Structure 1
Amino acid sequence: MIRAVTHLVDDASFGGVNRMLDYMASSPSLGCHHQHRIERVSRGQLSLSGLTTDIIVSHLSISWANLPLLTALRAIYPNHPIIHVEHSYCERFVAAKVSNRMRFETLLRISYSLFDQIVAVSEAQGAWMRRRGYCAGQHLEVLSPCVDLSSFFALPDRPTRQSVTLGAIGRFDEQKGFDILIDAFVGSQREDLRLDLFGDGPERQRLMDKAADHPRIAFHGYLADTSKAVAQCDIIAMPSRWEPYGLVALEAMAAGRPVLCSRADGLNDHIRNKATDIGENSVESWTAFLDAMNIVDLAESGRSLRRTAKLSEAKFLLGWNELLWNAVGADADRALAA
């Protein structure tokens, strides 16, 4: 029996969450077991009734403003399995952005207690959630995100060349650490590198000021199709200050591009999967790495990453099918009787 799964999302951007949901809704591997539907919700909405579904999966932001909606959701659907995927919070986010830790941890514990299951998007995030006891009494599963990678797998390997393009892709804000990368690039002694940045956001002007019309730094704006950005790069850099997972790393691997990572949260998962650990996420560390890196060795290592991405894709599909099957397996009679 194919059961209905409703995904609730309040993120209106064309970012990783919505791209993942589009992939889930269109994937034949997932569709032969469950029918995935996407329900868009306004942040701060107070109630959500009238869903015809067997399972509810929340991709909603956890906040005090959303807590009434989460509470109402549990009250309206007491017999439905409700799963929450935590896309936003991670250890380094809390260290950087949360001033009142007790209030924040209270919010997470109250909110997570409303769900039957919590999904962490990386092993690093899941380990942090367990250490802090945010999911006490809940079953915590780790399922890393995936999107349609076909356009990345289709990209040809980049030939080794004299001038190498280092790419940075994502929203221009504090989280992504592109300011660190620009300062490191400007301080590097190498002249065989160029830095291309793809994206937009509140820090765009600040980043452009840092680049100061450097002849080998270019800003290309936002591209909805990330594969078009990756296609123009030889290496992808991710100097994030915090990162629950880091989908760009998986996309770059699918394209056979080496990935240079900070050790922020979920990026450690990618490092374990053969992304390159640059060490401390500082200007000095990035500069030292850029000055010393061997382009030929990196290019060869990047080509082997396609298999890693393929395995991650398979794990995502299998993991979601198993998670949803287990969710309805235990509660099928209860849910159908409701």
Structure 2
Amino acid sequence: MTIYHLVDDAGFGGVNRMLDHLTRALGREGEKHELVRVKRGQLSPPRMEGASHIISHLSACWKNMPLMTALRARYAETPLIHVEHSYSERFVMARVDNRDRFDTLLSAAYALFDKVIAVSAQQGQWLARKYVSRSRLAVIEPCVALDDFFALPDRISGRKTVIGAMGRFDAQKGFDILIEGLRKSRRQDIEVHFYGQGSEERRLRKLAGNDPRIVFHGYAASPAAAMASCDVIAMPSRFEPYGLVALEAMAAGRPVIASGADGLAGHIENGAAGVGDNTPDGWTRLFDEFDINDFRRGAVSRRKRAKEAEQKFADRWLRLLGDLTEQPHQFQMAA
């Protein structure tokens, strides 16, 4: 099989790291994975000779609709799969003003594909309620290379507990909530260390003021090396289709404290701690009551769950591709 992956994201974020791992994990004799990078808004798809499957990792946006429509027309006999990396129920609540227009976009985009992949059970439930029949929907939680995280030793705490927050400095990630929560806390034995960069950095630094408990490290070339210095990982996201940082933390044996937004609810079901009230006051209460010993136990089971997630990722992709290969292909536009 020759499987093509269409990507319009040029950054080295979760999508591209997942693709790098996917192509390595599934590559085997007689099966080839090719990454094809396109520009967002490109009008026609590139030629993909001998494609057995085409997997879209494109943003489902109006700018990409001509490309997606042309892709379906040119490859009418080829199974097309779309992976929804971006959208979730909380995303719509936070970012979408015109819900009817957005619903029309997603319904039209997803109708072009044989299968739509949700990246978490929570996202999948939302997609099934709104846009995609369950027969065309599958859930495959993403994975990235975890070896560097598995190799980290368990953390031995010092006098202070270091809580790590990793990711883009964007309102989505809720890092402002974390900063405000810590600044209102009386605890002096807790520090929050931020690893990342982005458009919100100036605002976050202003919120932090001169509080010595808040440390900015900038972009982390090695997320595993950054995580080695952390006792706990915090994820106060306002929306999050999946949340790869939680999986990486599990592989490193680090406990996670998260909001219940979208896919993070799945991580809480799988052993992460929920903050409950994802507001500054909610995080202040957590900091004031925090005891690292309540979180230290369970490193072995966290690593085991990450190993199981790694295997499940490969198994589900292999099963999906195999099923689409065995079934006679007859695409029908969804009603």
User: What is the TM-score with the length of structure 2 in the denominator?
Assistant: 0.96
1:120 maps to which residue?
Answer: 118
Aligned CA distance change for structure 1 residues 183 and 33 (closer, same or farther; 3 Å): farther
CA–CA separation in structure 2 for the residues paired with 1:35 and 1:215: 51
* Deviations 1:243-289, CA, capped at 9 Å, x for gaps: 00000000011000000000000001100110001102111111101
> C-alpha displacement at 1:303, in angstroms?
4.2
* SS of 1:144 mapped into structure 2: coil
Distance 1:32 1:281, change over 3 A: farther
Query: Is the alpha carbon distance of 1:138 and 1:63 closer, same or farther for their aligned partners in structure 2, counting shifts above 3 Å?
Result: farther
Deviation of 1:49 after TM superposition, in Å, equals 3.5
RMSD value, Cα: 1.5
**CA shift digits 1:32-58 (9 cap, x unpaired):** 573211111100001113202110000
Match in the other structure for 1:264: 261
Deviations 1:300-327 (A, max 9, x none): 1344311110111010010000011111
Tell me, what secondary structure is at the counterpart of 1:207?
helix
> How many residue pairs get matched?
330
Q: Which runs of 4+ in 1 moved over 2 A?
A: 29-34, 301-304, 331-334
- Secondary structure of the residue aligned to 1:74 is helix
Q: What are the equivalent positions in structure 2 for 1:43-192 lying under 5 Å apart? A: 43-52=40-49, 53-132=51-130, 134-136=131-133, 139-192=136-189
Whether the 8 Å contact between 1:116 and 1:138 is mirrored in structure 2 is: no
Aligned AA (1:4): T
Secondary structure in 2 matching 1:237: strand
Percent of matched pairs sharing the same residue: 51
Once the two structures are superposed, what CA deviation does each residue of 1:120-163 show, in whole Å capped at 9, x if it has no partner? 0000000111122x013751000000000000000000013321
Q: Does 1:230 align with 2:231?
A: no
Q: Following TM superposition, by how much is the alpha carbon of 1:216 offset from its aligned partner in structure 2, in angstroms?
A: 1.6
- Structure 2 letter corresponding to 1:200: Q
Structure 2, gaps ≥5 residues long? none
C-alpha distance in structure 2 between counterparts of 1:24 and 1:71, whole Å: 26
Task: Give the direction of change, closer, same or farther, for the CA distance of 1:86–1:333 in structure 2 (3 Å limit).
Answer: closer
The amino acid of 1:307's aligned partner reads K
- Give the direction of change, closer, same or farther, for the CA distance of 1:131–1:253 in structure 2 (3 Å limit): same
Q: Which residue of 2 aligns with 1:202?
A: 199
Segments of 5+ residues of structure 1 without an aligned counterpart are none
Contact conserved, 2:149 with 2:249, CA < 8 A, in 1? yes
Contact 1:118–1:138 under 8 Å retained in 2: no
Q: Is the 8 A contact 2:80 2:114 kept in 1?
A: yes
Contact 1:14 1:224 in 2 (8 A): no
Provide closer, same or farther for how the CA distance between residues 151 and 260 of structure 1 changes in structure 2, counting only shifts above 3 A.
same
**Residues of 1 paired with 2:309 and 2:286: CA distance?**
27
- How far apart, in 2, do the equivalents of 1:131 and 1:122 lie? 14
For 1:114, give the aligned amino acid: L
Rounded Cα–Cα distance in structure 1 between residues aligned with 2:321 and 2:154: 36
The SS at the match of 1:171 is coil
Is 1:325 the counterpart of 2:322 in the alignment?
A: yes
- Contact 1:183-1:283 at 8 Å conserved across structures: yes
C-alpha separation between the residues in 2 aligned to 1:109 and 1:237? 34
Tell me the residue number matched to 1:16.
Answer: 14
Q: Deviations over 1:61-83 (max 9, x none)?
A: 00011000000000000000000
Corresponding residue number in structure 2 for 1:290: 287
Q: What pairs with 1:307-322 in structure 2 (closer than 5 Å)?
A: 307-322=304-319
What is the CA deviation profile of residues 102-123 of structure 1, one whole-angstrom value per residue up to 9, with x for unaligned ones?
1000000000000000000000
Distance in 2 of aligned mates of 1:115 and 1:101: 22
Give the SS at the match of 2:297. helix
